[in-house]
Structure 1
Amino acid sequence: MGLSSRTAVAVHALTMLARWGERSLTSGEIADSLASNPVLVRRILGSLRDAGLVWSTEGRGGGWSLARAPREITLYDAYRAVEEGPILSRHPHTPSAECEVGRNIQALLEVEFLDAERAMEERLGRTTIAHLHQQVLAIERELALPR
């Protein structure tokens, strides 16, 4: 499938939910922070719900909340919830067997791409939503200091 912005949107939404803690947020509130469309946000939140990362309540006062503690949700959890298929796109069709590059490139790329994807998964698995939330707060505190 290749790269998309779904993971960034998902991480943004999860970090917002961590920031507001016990207070549920509407998809509109999250969309405002993203400068995005609430329908897109609802789709992403639906995938996060299916993965057990968020839950929602309907009706007046309803909205979205984290289903797990922010320290228990990694960026890789968010990625897995919203992305499908491999990170790096493979050949859309089989290369020519008549060419020495064509005969061999798919197997060679598969090794390289799998190693790269595992490295990304490992790196994203080290960072939690709680960590991002703390970084946001630290940056905001720094910006608020008198100069």
Structure 2
Amino acid sequence: MTTATSITVRVPLAIRRRPGRKMVVTPMPDGVAPVTTRADPTLVKALARAFRYQRMLDEGRYASITEMAAAEKVERGYLGSLLRLTLLAPDIVELVLDGKAPPSIALPKLIEPIPEAWACQRNRLLLRGGSIDRHVGTA
């Protein structure tokens, strides 16, 4: 006859406060560098939602923004603002997702009406008329 035994496992970890969130930090094995990102989680989440909502419209799941807003329980105006994020230049979206976007790119700034032309977006959001090279990493 065997008796039930219990095992206790202890994992050293630390909970660090970051602005607006908590992060669990586990110890890393020797020689392994942690993978970190400086991407703005609020902006990344907004972009993901925007592209999801756009896909649902494209697939015909909803006939209008008003219908989608009611079904998703989101204010119609905010939903429309989020959908504008799908019109961002691909390199700007990439900068945001890679965590390399300059501080001038934040959700409140992107919710405002932005130009449709990608070159105008770059000028307005990145350098206000300068070159984008230092942000994208090209020479």
- TM-score, normalized by length of structure 2? 0.28
1 or 2, which has the higher helix percentage?
Answer: 1
Larger radius of gyration: 2
Higher relative contact order (CA 8 A, sep 6+): 1
